[in-house]
Structure 1
Amino acid sequence: MPIITVLPHPEYCPQGKQVSAGRGTSICEALLENGVPIEHACDMQCACTTCHVVVRKGYDSLGELDESEEDLLDRAWGLEPTSRLSCQAILADEDVTIEIPKYSINHAKEHG
């Protein structure tokens, strides 16, 4: 079962965190199921960029980037060569390390 290492983020995960998730699970699903409240304004439908993450380790092990995700990523804040939408980044067998960018394009966040 792959382990996702989340680097510290001041709002969502101040101490950083490690979570395990089953193969075939999206990074976004795994984070939400393990108490990391990553934004996902479109409800994981690949229609926004609020769940954008930068994959620091294990990028090549994730499911393939499709055209719709690639088009959306062009609008993500802090885009890097290893950026993914966490709702579309599907885990395989390797561990991954991710960084949640400090900002997103969602200026009207809901806190619940």
Structure 2
Amino acid sequence: MPKIKVLPHIEICPQGKEISAPAGTSICEALLDNGIEIEHACEMSAACTTCHVIVREGFDSLGELEEVEEDLLDRAWGLEPQSRLSCQAIVAGKDLTVEIPRYTINHAKEGH
């Protein structure tokens, strides 16, 4: 079973964490199933960017980006070339290292 290494995030996962996730599971589902409360305002329907992650290792093992995801990512805070919506990025057979950006577009708008 592939492993997902989550880099430390000051609020969501301060110590970082390594979890296992069955192939075919979205990164978002895997994080939530393992107690990492990543924001997912649209309930994983690919309608927002709050579950944005940066895939530091294993990016190429994920499926191709659909046009909807590409369009949404243009609005994500802290966009990088390895950015994905975690609700759309499906775990394959390779281990992953992911970083949850410090802010989401919701967080930035609320002025936290």
Answer yes or no: is 1:11 the counterpart of 2:20. Answer: no
C-alpha distance in structure 2 between counterparts of 1:86 and 1:106, whole Å: 16
Q: State the 1:13 CA deviation.
A: 0.2
Q: Which residue of structure 1 lines up, in the alignment, with residue 35 of structure 2? A: 35
Amino acid at match of 1:27: I
Partner in structure 1 of residue 51 of structure 2: 51
Gaps (5+ residues) in structure 1? none
Alignment partner, residue 85 of structure 1:
85
Give the match for residue 26 of structure 2. 26
Provide TM-score, normalisation by structure 1.
Answer: 0.95
Stretches of 4+ moved more than 2 A in 1? none
Q: For residue 25 of structure 2, give the secondary structure of its aligned residue in structure 1.
A: coil
| Larger relative helix fraction | 2
Letter in 2 for 1:103: Y
Which structure 2 residue ranges, 5 or more long, are not aligned?
Answer: none
Distance 2:48 2:35 in 1: 21
Deviation of 1:69 after TM superposition, in Å, equals: 0.2
What SS is found at the alignment partner of 1:106? helix
Report the alpha carbon displacement of residue 100 of structure 1 after superposing the two structures with TM.
Answer: 0.2
Q: CA RMSD in A?
A: 1.1
Deviation per residue, 1:58-103 (Å, 9 max, x gap): 0000121100000000000000000000000001000000000000
- % same residue: 73
Tell me the TM-score normalised to structure 2 length. Answer: 0.95
- Counterpart residue identity of residue 50, structure 2: T
